[in-house]
Amino acid sequence: MSHTPPHEALQDLAVELLRPQAADLAARWTARAREVLLLDRPDDMDLETVVDRNELVDALIGSAGVGEGVSESAIGQGLRFGANAFTHGVSLHHVMKALDLLAEMTLYALESGLDRSPSPAGNALEGVRFSRRLQHRRALLSLAATRGYMQAYADALRDRFRHLRHDLRNPLGTIKSVLALMDDDSVPHEARVNPNFRAMATRNAKSLDELIADQLSDAAALLPVIRGNDVSIRAVVCAVRRELQADAERRGVSIFVEQGGPQGQLDAAGLELLVRGALQAALRECDSGDRLQVEFKQSTGRASVVVSHDARRPPVRDAHALDCLVVLARQIGASVTAEEDRVLVSIQFRPGKHDLERAVEREPAVPQPAGGLGGGEPRHDVRGAREGHHGQAGAH
């Protein structure tokens, strides 16, 4: 005879269904999370060494009778996850998105398991109660990750000020020593009026001025991870495309994204919001069979995402939608411009070290033979229609 309270039945069934899938769910989350975190280079953060992904999944799934708690080790994993994300230049916005993705994928796995299970799936009250518990666990993980992230931020800020104090004290100390020598009556007059002393003081005063201008400017007031992420713009666009894929497939619209694109320091979260708004507005005006194309432009200090329609008509004709995008862009220091047959989302940009290295190594382009691009990489790609929203094969 079972002693399980009726209101725990769905919890136990969920654990029974999800436990065998935990390792696979964790592996799929790791792959998807790299994309959400905009980690598209081999030297980016390795999630498998940063966090015990199985532990994170276990923290969400829980076990029979655990109530709403989360293990201390899982909270420790959240702290590590947040701290390492900061160290690798990932924005806090994307850390939260990765944990939200884990909760979403866990619920999707449960939904699929319940759909196949012959056991009763419980009533609506049990479903709401289980979802609330899962949300509570996700919130604790997010709290731990945020705490770890901000602790790493505080440590980096402390180190930065320590180095800055050292850099400022050196020229200041030299100036103070020179002034003391010039005012010391025990030093011969000829030595006190030595032009070298004045030159030394002038040189160090200039050094101080440069340090203040460089290290205490408005631009330098924020650490790089807050000022902007060193990411691939294409990675940001592809992350948006994945989130809009279900809507695009429902409307029968394809979204092509140009290969390549610049990589550097920019407001990744701001760009993501703007590109999402532009593509959503364009999707609303598309008919079945239409194609949207996303390309990239780069100029001094700026990078642009260009959205166009395959019919060479304006991708967004709704004046209100464009006005909303313009206002949003202005709030985050970017711009949205509607041209005759395209919409440009432009944002402040500074090339990253990888782009600079490629620019140095780049050789003059070899002219292409007439008739196409030859056997090189295709210029555009489009996500396969059979790839589901949760990273699984679609059921068609």
Model confidence pLDDT, tens digit, residues 147-170: 888 888 888 888 888 988 898 888
Give the count of beta carbons closer than 10 Å to the beta carbon of residue 387: 14
- Local confidence band at 353 (pLDDT 50, 70, 90 cut-offs): low
Domain with CATH 1.10.490 in the chain: 6-156
What is the per-residue pLDDT for 214? 80
Q: Mean per-residue pLDDT for 193-199?
A: 84
Q: What SS3 string covers 21-37?
A: HHHHHHHHHHHHHHHHC
Query: What is the rounded distance in angstroms from the CA atom of residue 246 to the CA atom of residue 229?
Result: 28
What is the per-residue pLDDT for 42? 61
- Local confidence band at 187 (pLDDT 50, 70, 90 cut-offs): confident
What is the per-residue pLDDT for 314? 92
What is the per-residue pLDDT for 19? 76
What is the per-residue pLDDT for 360? 46
- Nearest Cα residue to 388 out of 141, 118, 28: 28
Please tell me the pTM assigned to this model. 0.60
What is the per-residue pLDDT for 393? 35
Amino acid identity, position 1: M
Alpha helix (H) residue ranges in 184-300: 189-192, 195-215, 224-227, 233-251, 268-284
More confident residue, 230 or 93: 93
Which of 47-61, 207-221, 332-346, 356-370 is modeled with the greatest confidence?
332-346
The residues, any chain, with a CB within 8 Å of residue 249's CB and separated by 6 or more, are 385
6-156: CATH, from 1.10.490, 1.10.730, 3.40.50, 3.30.420: 1.10.490
- Nearest Cα residue to 304 out of 339, 354, 331, 280: 339
Instruction: Answer yes or no: are the C-beta atoms of 281 and 316 closer than 8 Å.
Output: yes
What is the per-residue pLDDT for 275? 93
pLDDT of 362 strictly over 50: no
pLDDT of 65 strictly over 50: no
228-362: CATH, from 3.30.565.10, 3.40.50.150, 3.40.50.2300, 3.30.70.20: 3.30.565.10
More confident residue, 60 or 94: 94
Max distance between CA atoms of the chain, in angstroms, equals 104
Cα atoms in the 13 Å half-sphere on the side-chain side of 12: 12
pLDDT of 9 strictly over 60: yes
What is the per-residue pLDDT for 218? 67
- Local confidence band at 378 (pLDDT 50, 70, 90 cut-offs): very low
**Residue 351 CA: distances (Å) to CA of 35, 240, 280:** 20, 22, 28
The CATH number of the structural domain formed by 160-222 is 1.10.287
Give the pair of three-digit tokens for residue 109: 């796995």
DSSP type of residue 8:
G
Q: Mean per-residue pLDDT for 15-44?
A: 78
pLDDT of 188 strictly over 50: yes
Cα end-to-end distance, the chain, whole Å: 42
More confident residue, 280 or 35: 280
What is the per-residue pLDDT for 368? 41
Q: Hey, CA dihedral for 123, 125, 128, 130, is it positive or negative?
A: negative
pLDDT of 10 strictly over 50: yes
- Which range, of 2-6, 117-121, 165-169, 300-304, averages the lowest pLDDT? 2-6
- Which range, of 7-16, 26-35, 234-243, 318-327, averages the lowest pLDDT? 7-16
Instruction: Answer yes or no: are the C-beta atoms of 317 and 303 closer than 8 Å.
Output: no
Domain with CATH 1.10.287 in the chain: 160-222
Kindly report, residue by residue over 214-263, the tens digit of the pLDDT.
887 766 666 655 555 678 899 899 989 988 998 999 999 999 999 988 88
Instruction: Answer yes or no: are the C-beta atoms of 4 and 28 closer than 8 Å.
Output: no
Instruction: Answer yes or no: are the C-beta atoms of 132 and 107 closer than 8 Å.
Output: no
- Local confidence band at 290 (pLDDT 50, 70, 90 cut-offs): very high
Instruction: Answer yes or no: are the C-beta atoms of 280 and 270 closer than 8 Å.
Output: no
- Which range, of 86-90, 270-274, 362-366, 377-381, averages the lowest pLDDT? 377-381
Q: What whole-number percentage of the chain has pLDDT above 90?
A: 19
What is the per-residue pLDDT for 254? 95
Q: What is the mean pLDDT of the chain?
A: 77
What is the per-residue pLDDT for 326? 92
pLDDT of 379 strictly over 50: no
Residue 304 phi, psi dihedral angles, 5° rounding: -130, 145
- Local confidence band at 380 (pLDDT 50, 70, 90 cut-offs): very low
- Nearest Cα residue to 316 out of 295, 345, 288: 345
More confident residue, 20 or 384: 20
